[in-house]
């Protein structure tokens, strides 16, 4: 399993984290196409849309996402 923090904007508060068995290349390929489409005047997206695009492209892979990770303070 891989844990990735995804950043597509200049705003770190819009980052999200995914736990998946996808590799970096697979993730970048799909997310880049969604982000590029919006920047070229297409449909806007949010983090859920990005995760949905990954799930649609790779239906047999494990993908779960977190907008914020829980912190344990000891």
Instruction: Name the CA dihedral angle for 9, 12, 17, 22, rounded to a multiple of 10 degrees.
Output: 40
In a domain, 63, yes or no: yes
In a domain, 51, yes or no: yes
The C-alpha atoms of residue 46 and residue 29 are separated, in whole angstroms, by 17
In a domain, 47, yes or no: yes
pLDDT digits (tens, 9 = 90+) for 48-70: 999 999 999 999 999 999 988 88
CB 51 within 8 Å of CB 65: yes
pTM for the whole structure: 0.88
pLDDT digits (tens, 9 = 90+) for 11-55: 888 899 999 999 999 999 999 999 999 999 989 999 999 999 999
CB 27 within 8 Å of CB 3: no
In a domain, 62, yes or no: yes
The reported pLDDT for the residue numbered 37 is: 93
In a domain, 64, yes or no: yes
Domain span at residue 52?
34-69
Task: Domain count for the chain, please give it.
Answer: 1
In a domain, 52, yes or no: yes
In a domain, 16, yes or no: no
Q: Which value, in Å, is the radius of gyration of the alpha carbons in the chain?
A: 13
């Amino acid at each position: 399993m891989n844990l990735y923090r995804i950043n597509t904007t200049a705003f770190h508060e819009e980052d999200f984290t995914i736990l998946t068995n996808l590799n970096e290349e697979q993730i970048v390929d799909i997310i880049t196409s969604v982000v590029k489409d919006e920047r070229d005047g297409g449909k806007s997206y949010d983090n859920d849309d990005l995760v949905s695009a990954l799930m649609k492209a790779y239906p047999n892979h494990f993908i779960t996402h977190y907008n914020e990770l829980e912190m344990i303070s000891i």
